[in-house]
Amino acid sequence: MANKKRMLGLIGFVGAGALALGLTGCAGGSDDTGSDTGSDSDLTTVGFVAVGPEGGWRNANEQAVKDAFTEEAGYELKYAPAASPSDQKSQLDAFATFVNDEVDVILLTATEASGWEDSLELAQEAEIPVILLDRGVDASEDLYVTRIAPDNFQVAASVGAWAVETFAEGANYFVLEGVPGLSVVNERNEGFDSEVADVASLNKVGAQTANWKTDEGKSVIETVLKANNNDIQFIFAQNDEMGIGAAQAVTAAGLVPGTDVKIATIDGTTGALEALAAGDLSFVAQYNPFFGDIAVDVVEKTLAGETVESTIIVDSATFDSAEAGETALAEGQGF
């Protein structure tokens, strides 16, 4: 197997026994469980411990990884989505299987930030490098090579800076949060708060999870508007889907999105850019999902023993008007 264990002393696993998991071989067209690592193929095997279907951003990101780690590029990608977007156990099992099968490298997008220390330590012993995609983990940086992701803090801070400028005369606002416990949620809260926390004229009415979902975003905002007699001027949704749901709730309450209530979101899906162009959203901060090529470059450098930065930031953009939304759509920036 190509590049096997060149990162001596970096990352690995103590045998955990074969686990019966249905892992899909995306790059090589294989449907096995990753146990056929004893073949004489020259392909580099990559185990991708993924989240799976969770919305437009996640679908685009994971597809970008699949498109980058192809057989033509010299890889066999073994894709293991979680049983559900919040099922950490299935991810831990998939991770253990990949290490037991002695893949060359593991890509990890964690469903939860905590609970990975033991798995990463075991991986280190088996000298299999682990690269984090998108989400961080609550573990020592010595246990993984790097984290590749847009900067959640800065992306959310851009929303906060826009809100401060837009609502110079003040506003009541509400925050729709993603799944509790994720690093992305904490970082987006921290980034947004870094800009608005000390602005006395911005009054935070509350915050609640809507689990990244449109229908839950709509339901939460319907309740919030009723409880506050529609006296809400700004909603910050931590992803596009929740923001689109919020716009639906605003309309259902007899208010006009973009006029009576401005809504800012993060991700930059096609649906959000269309809503921005239509005036239903007022600000969209892109969280760029297209970094499969960066992941390939990092894997190649890692397996070659080259130094890799502990954090690799993926550049993103912001869109603050209907015209900006139209331009972004015309340039194909949605997903």
| pLDDT tens, residue by residue, 150-191 | 999 999 999 999 999 999 999 999 999 999 988 889 999 999
Position of tokens 């991770």?
95
Same domain, 29 and 82: yes
The structural domain count of the chain equals 2
Same domain, 294 and 276: no
Position of tokens 């894997």?
299
In this prediction, residue 46 has a pLDDT band, given cuts at 50, 70 and 90, of very high
Q: Is 16 contained in some domain? A: no
Cα–Cα–Cα angle for 47, 49, 53, rounded to 5 degrees: 125
pLDDT at site 214: 97
Report the candidate in 111, 57, 52, 55 with the shortest Cα–Cα distance to residue 87: 111
Poorest-pLDDT segment among 21-25, 180-184, 286-290: 21-25
* Residue 68 tokens, joined: 């980058």
Residues whose CB falls within 8 Å of the CB of residue 229, separated by 6 or more in sequence, listed in order: none
Give the number of residues written for the chain. 335
Check whether 259 has a pLDDT greater than 70: yes
Which CATH number fits the domain that encloses residue 143? 3.40.50.2300
Q: Is 15 contained in some domain? A: no
pLDDT at site 33: 36
Same domain, 43 and 60: yes
Q: Is 11 exposed, middle or buried (0-12, 13-18, 19+ CB in 10 A)?
A: buried
Q: Is 125 contained in some domain? A: yes
Cα 324 to Cα 283: distance, rounded to the nearest angstrom: 9
pLDDT at site 14: 33
Q: Is 129 contained in some domain? A: yes
Q: Is 176 contained in some domain? A: yes
Cα 99 to Cα 11: distance, rounded to the nearest angstrom: 10
pLDDT at site 183: 84
Q: Is 77 contained in some domain? A: yes
Same domain, 37 and 84: yes
Check whether 138 has a pLDDT greater than 70: yes
pLDDT at site 62: 98
Same domain, 50 and 122: yes
pLDDT at site 322: 98
Q: Is 314 contained in some domain? A: no
Same domain, 73 and 137: yes
Check whether 22 has a pLDDT greater than 50: no
* Amino acid present at 268: G
Q: Is 12 contained in some domain? A: no
Strands 318-319, 44-50: pairing kind: unpaired
pLDDT at site 54: 85
Report the candidate in 293, 292, 269, 273 with the shortest Cα–Cα distance to residue 282: 273
Domain of residue 106 covers: 24-148+289-304
| pLDDT tens, residue by residue, 53-105 | 988 899 999 999 999 999 999 999 999 999 998 899 999 999 999 999 999 99
